[in-house]
Amino acid sequence: MPRPEPISRRDRPAKPPLSRAAILDAAVDVVHRDGAAALTMRRLATELDTGPASLYVYVRNTTELNALLIDRYLSELDLSWDGREAWRERLQRVVDDYAGLLASQPGLASAALTTWPDGPHYLDLLELLMRLLDAAGIDVETAARGVDLLLQHATASAAEWAAHATPAGQDLADLTETLNAATAERHPSLHRAGSTVFTSGTPDERTRWATTAIVNGILAGASEHPRR
Amino acid sequence: MPRPEPISRRDRPAKPPLSRAAILDAAVDVVHRDGAAALTMRRLATELDTGPASLYVYVRNTTELNALLIDRYLSELDLSWDGREAWRERLQRVVDDYAGLLASQPGLASAALTTWPDGPHYLDLLELLMRLLDAAGIDVETAARGVDLLLQHATASAAEWAAHATPAGQDLADLTETLNAATAERHPSLHRAGSTVFTSGTPDERTRWATTAIVNGILAGASEHPRR
DNA sequence: ACCTGAACACCGTTCAAGT
DNA sequence: ACCTGAACACCGTTCAAGT
């Protein structure tokens, strides 16, 4: 009896050896197909045709996996600045881009909130932001705090945006309903403001407004130490 | 044979009937004893001496549970303002308090990020913030956006703080290490700034700085629409 | 040395069946 | 009508055992 031909490479590609890079590639595939929420150690192991335990040889834990993945996604962003575009415009754009990137895959943002992305592209992002704030005439210490705040804002916005887009999340109607409970007696300011003030405008526009406010705040004497 | 005495109430209190309130009480107990990360539907059911399915009669899902719980915790905060304390000071204090509250129980903050707290005390918080920004001379629409941003900041700060305090989280050393990879060629600004700029100061102090910056940003002509 | 099967200790949510 | 046992479809992580 003839030994059966091995299945051709084309039909069933040879199982590639595991490596950090191979794991990250598979992670990108999973996120692309089923969203970041589907990216679990077990799912990733299935994808790589192995058991979950094998991944732990290359990745310390889920947190580290997420940190690596975000850096990987960051590589798709334009993080250059020729110095000709006004710093304000460039800053607005990179913050928008970063928030958009994190929001593009539900779950990526919430990972970014509890994880410092770790890798060369994240450094590129930090470098760009520091350059822009330096161009704005802001001293290094203040700039570092500003970068922190801007990234926090971008990440949190993306997380909120993503959370309310999932089926388990609440939607805007819930908040409006809550606000309708505001009475003229106990909550006069809210009552006067109406139940839609907190939800007017597009999420995009609201995020841009906030970014502008933060930048203005950094410029407006934020180098002073806050009073207790 | 005499029927055994029923176990006395003192030894084994009568199983109270389920209700939203009873569930929330048990949730507070669980969080108090084992932290917000331990608050799961199953754990809560065990606590209430029933099966997890029973909870779904009173609470739609985990998201709603968290929303209710945060409001419950909010009731412990002082949300009054007599108008004598300067608005800036009062604002700083309530934001600090809110962030502290969310950070006090690991997991509460990350719930708040993806969940609008729902209940009377959350309305009290919104009311106070709107009053304070009104006292600062800010128009209603801008104030609403400002409140949004301030709460986002408080929540995100608490989430970060809590995340890095858990065993699974990264610690500051990781970020410093990442920054050490910045070279004078590719990342001159970072290289110049040094690897500790992003981690200098206490988390508390950094959060206060950011709050001040945001307030200044709201004041500093943030009522203009941002340029595209 | 490198890799992994199987186990441990969990999850949220649903639904058919009981009282 | 109200409640729930049991099941469904998952998790992250560890470690003893295999190649």
Would the CB atoms of B123 and A179 count as touching at under 8 Å? yes
Q: What is the pLDDT of residues A158-208, one digit of tens each?
A: 888 877 665 555 566 677 888 888 899 999 999 999 988 998 888 889 999
CA B102 to chain A, closest CA, distance in angstroms equals: 14
Q: What percent of chain B has pLDDT over 70?
A: 85
Q: Quick check: B209 contacting A, CB < 8 Å?
A: yes
The answer to whether the CB of B77 falls within 8 A of the CB of B98 is yes
The answer to whether the CB of B101 falls within 8 A of the CB of B74 is yes
Is the pLDDT assigned to residue B65 strictly greater than 60? Answer: yes
What is the pLDDT at residue B5?
Answer: 40
B5 or A80: which carries more pLDDT confidence?
A80
Nearest nucleotide relative to A56: CA against C1': D13
Count CB neighbours of B38 within 10 A.
Answer: 15
Q: What is the pTM of this model?
A: 0.86
What is the pLDDT at residue A47?
Answer: 92
What is the pLDDT at residue B59?
Answer: 93
User: How far is B41 from B50, CA to CA, in rounded Å?
Assistant: 11
For chain A, how many helices (H) and strands (E)?
A: 11, 0
A161 or A28: which carries more pLDDT confidence?
A28
> Which among A96, A125, A127 is the top mutation candidate for probing chain B, defined by the most B β-carbons within 10 Å of its own β-carbon?
A127
Q: What is the pLDDT of residues A89-148, one digit of tens each?
A: 999 999 999 999 988 776 778 778 878 888 889 999 999 999 999 999 999 999 999 999
